Amino acid sequence: MTVTTLHTARLLAGHDLDPAPALGPGTLIALAQEAGLTGRGGAGFPTWRKLAAVASGAKAVVIGNGAEGEPASAKDRALLTRSPQLVLDGLRLAGEAVGADRLYLYVPAELSGPLRARAEGVTVVEAPDAFLSGEESAVVSRVEGRAALPRDKRRLIVESGLRGAPTLVQNVETLAQLALLARNGPGWFRSRGTPDEPGTFLATISGAVREPGVYEAPLGIPLHELIGLAGGPAASLQAVLVGGYHGGWVPARPEIPVSRAGLRPYAASPGAGVVVALPTASCGLVETAKIASYLSAQTAGQCGPCVNGLPRLAETLTRLASRERHPALPAEVERVAGLVAGRGACRHPDGTARLVLSALRTFAPDVRAHLAGNCLVEGESRV
Amino acid sequence: MSERLHIDWTACGGRGLCAELLPEVLDLDEWGYPLARDGLAVPEVLLPHARRAVAQCPRLALHLQTSATS
Amino acid sequence: MTVDALWYLARGTGVVSLVLLTVVVVLGVGSRAGRPVFGLPRFAVATVHRNASLLAVALLAIHVLTLFFDPYAQLRFVDLVVPFAGAYRPVWLGLGTLGLDLIVALVATSLLRRRLGVTAWRAVHWLAYLAWPVALLHGLGTGTDRGSLWLWAVAVSCAAAVVSALGWRLSDRFVPAGSLR
């Protein structure tokens, strides 16, 4: 995968930086609030709020989350490989801001060696190679020494996380953004992006593009420009998956701004910056069925509705993708999607349901064709 | 302030006692797991039944939480 | 009370306890099914299981106390809690003491379940599968009714109930609750 930087991009610059300025206790939180930085791990929660919630507790813990269980995402790996110093700076700054006495960095196994060497005062913990290993409570469990499985959220992690301590679990890109923010100030941060969604984000662009890779882009960038960063489309595009496997399909309209506001009409959001371009030569239903099958095999195995519902959802969608002429299939997909959402310890069933429902919407013409025994994509083989 | 049920899905084993003891709030899905009929808020008149359901859950997976009314 | 009356009371409460414990075990096995058992809704299965075990404990208390005050049994206090230390038929009596210890542990941990958490509770609850046969053997081996027909009939019925419950539980026909665990 190519890793490229924009002319004004900073996150992947990989240069050795001057030491981060020493900030007073409330300063980083105030800077984050003024800058309007939101989490870059997918949920997009205002970072200053999370910092403030953890800071108000007793001895806190900060965990930099670089697990990146999403197969279509490579930005955290790129960041940890190219600019590890930025991530560690952000981790330390966050630690100071919340009064933490323990700092952790949670990363895929293959990155742990080089990082341990340069991460003084930080405990590097290896993340297993699974889709859910980056889920906030799964991260805490793994750092505690148990399996990387999501936990029940009766108490919020920011109040009671690692062994009961207030815990900040922050995506490594957000930490890197904090490190740059501390050096350059909120004005600089807000010079990119939109007024409501300022700053840049790292996008992992793949699929039918000429140069798949990780690229830094301002929030609100039009879709065609974002794809242009990756060398432009490699074929005629019909749709784009935005936000990863828990995201949504968006029609390949060039002017759609890649931001929460721009994607909301399509029931999608930038998520963790994953963008997969679907060419007209591929069947959207077939591709989604493959993703749904993968997701149903990646449950934690803890919660009944998810363990039972996701395979049923994937199987029903696969039947539809295989052009089975059963008129009740779309309704059954919608029924099961509604049945699993919100009924689990984590958002895995919700995200899977969201993806599947967006496929039914965006590929509605394909659904009609499949129910008639055809596929709009010629020569498509059966799943 | 109102009370609402919280289901610990990692502990729930689909035993179904809760739906028997609080049928106004909980139904069971096709796999035997509790399904909220209309949200998990518990009206005050049903609180004694809700507490009984919480006490009888074999997996201690059901809890009552006080939340500020939105 | 005459000495004979104490003896009858001790034997009677012992046998009824055994029958109740059999009901407790059968319902305990059935509760895993997550569906109505013998026409009882699930919450009733759980409630009868609990109430029968508490009643069994009450009868066991009478059983133990009447024997303690019976001059022929010659029980010392240590015999009530430490198994296999008794002078009269030590093995069979010891089983009784062991059974009592186990049942007290089972009931106490169940009453304190919320404080202990499910994992610790479950670890102790497995001892039920030890407590019941211990109680049965104690009932068959000790006391003056040993070898009498009616006691054998009761024991065989109890054993049949538990064996068929376990047989059903271990068979392919058994579908656990939630189709998951």
Domain ranges of chain B: 2-67
Are the C-beta atoms of A163 and A89 separated by less than 8 Å? no
Domain boundary at A279, A314, A349, which? A279
Supply C47's token pair. Answer: 């409630």
Q: Which residues of C touch A (CB under 8 A)?
A: 178-180
pLDDT score for A1: 37
Write the secondary structure of chain B as one string of H (helix), E (strand) and C (coil): CEEEEEECCCCCCCCCHHHHHCCCCEEECCCCCEEECCCCEECHHHHHHHHHHHHHCCCCCEEEEEECCC
Q: Are residues A66 and A178 in the same domain?
A: yes
pLDDT score for B33: 95
Residues of B in contact with C43 (CB under 8 A): 17, 20-21, 56
Neighbouring residues of A194: CB distance < 8 A, sequence distance ≥ 6: A218, A219, A220, A257, A259, A261
* Domain span including residue C70: 3-179
Pairing of strands A167-171, A60-65: parallel
Q: Are residues A223 and A330 in the same domain?
A: no
Instruction: Give me the CATH number covering residue A275.
Output: 3.10.20.600
Q: How many distinct structural domains can be found in chain C? A: 1
Mean of the per-residue pLDDT values of chain C: 87
Q: Are residues A161 and A271 in the same domain?
A: no
Cα end-to-end span (Å), chain C: 53
Are the C-beta atoms of C80 and C100 separated by less than 8 Å? yes
Q: What is the pLDDT along chain A (383 residues), one digit of tens a residue?
A: 334 443 345 888 776 667 777 777 788 999 999 999 999 999 889 999 999 999 986 789 999 999 999 999 999 999 999 999 999 999 999 999 999 989 999 999 999 999 999 888 999 999 999 999 999 999 999 999 999 999 998 889 999 999 999 999 999 999 999 999 988 889 999 999 999 999 999 999 999 999 999 999 999 999 999 999 999 999 999 999 999 999 999 999 999 999 999 999 998 999 999 999 999 999 999 999 999 999 999 999 999 999 999 999 999 999 999 999 999 999 999 999 999 999 999 999 999 999 999 999 999 999 999 999 999 886 554 54
Are the C-beta atoms of A98 and A168 separated by less than 8 Å? yes
Tell if the CB–CB gap between A303 and B10 is shorter than 8 Å: yes
d(CA C11, CA C143): 7
pLDDT score for A8: 46
Instruction: Give me the CATH number covering residue A366.
Output: 1.20.1440.230
Q: Are residues A267 and A295 in the same domain?
A: no
Residue A382 lies in a domain: no
Q: Does residue C181 surpass a pLDDT of 70?
A: no
Task: Give just the sign of the alpha carbon dihedral A287, A292, A295, A296.
Answer: negative
Residue A326 lies in a domain: yes
Q: Are residues A364 and A350 in the same domain?
A: yes
Q: Are residues A79 and A205 in the same domain?
A: no
Give the residue, C147 or A288, on which the prediction is more confident: A288
Q: Which of B6, B33, B54, B60 should be substituted to probe chain A, the one whose Cβ sees the most A Cβ atoms within 10 Å? A: B33
The most distant pair of C-alpha atoms in chain C lies apart, rounded to whole Å, by: 57
CA C35 to chain centre: 24
C173 to chain B, any CB pair closer than 8 A? The answer is no
Give the tens place of pLDDT for each residue, C81-124: 888 876 666 788 889 999 999 999 999 999 999 999 999 999 99
Q: Are residues A155 and A298 in the same domain?
A: no
Q: How many distinct structural domains can be found in chain A? A: 3
pLDDT score for A56: 81
Q: Does residue C156 surpass a pLDDT of 80?
A: yes
d(CA A333, CA A59): 46
pLDDT score for A78: 94
Residue A216 lies in a domain: yes
Are the C-beta atoms of A122 and A116 separated by less than 8 Å? no
Complex ipTM > 0.85:
yes
CATH domain B2-67 topology: Alpha-Beta Plaits (3.30.70)
Q: Angle CA(C168)–CA(C169)–CA(C170) in degrees, nearest 5?
A: 95
Q: Which residues of B touch A (CB under 8 A)?
A: 6-14, 29, 31-33, 35, 63, 65
Q: Are residues A308 and A356 in the same domain?
A: yes
Taking the CA of residue C145 and the nearest CA in chain B, the distance in Å comes to: 38
Supply B39's token pair. Answer: 């949200």
d(CA A213, CA A73): 9
pLDDT score for C143: 64
Q: Are residues A62 and A143 in the same domain?
A: yes
Phi and psi angles of residue B46, each rounded to the nearest 5 degrees, phi first: -95, 0
Q: Are residues A228 and A106 in the same domain?
A: no
Q: Are residues A132 and A208 in the same domain?
A: no
- Residue recorded with tokens 């939340």: B67
Q: Are residues A178 and A224 in the same domain?
A: no
A344 to chain B, any CB pair closer than 8 A? The answer is yes
Give the residue, A81 or C177, on which the prediction is more confident: A81
Tell if the CB–CB gap between B58 and C31 is shorter than 8 Å: yes
Residue A378 lies in a domain: no
Domain boundary at A157, A172, A190, which? A190
Residue A195 lies in a domain: no
Residues of C in contact with B31 (CB under 8 A): 178-180
- Tell which residue, A225, A235, A261, A198, has the closest CA to residue A40: A198
d(CA C101, CA C83): 9
* Domain span including residue A341: 284-371
Taking the CA of residue A270 and the nearest CA in chain B, the distance in Å comes to: 28
Residue A299 lies in a domain: yes
d(CA A330, CA C51): 49
Domain boundary at A146, A171, A190, which? A190
Of B9, B11, B29, the CB nearest to A339: B29
Q: Which residues of A touch C (CB under 8 A)?
A: 304, 307-308
Q: Does residue C53 surpass a pLDDT of 60?
A: yes
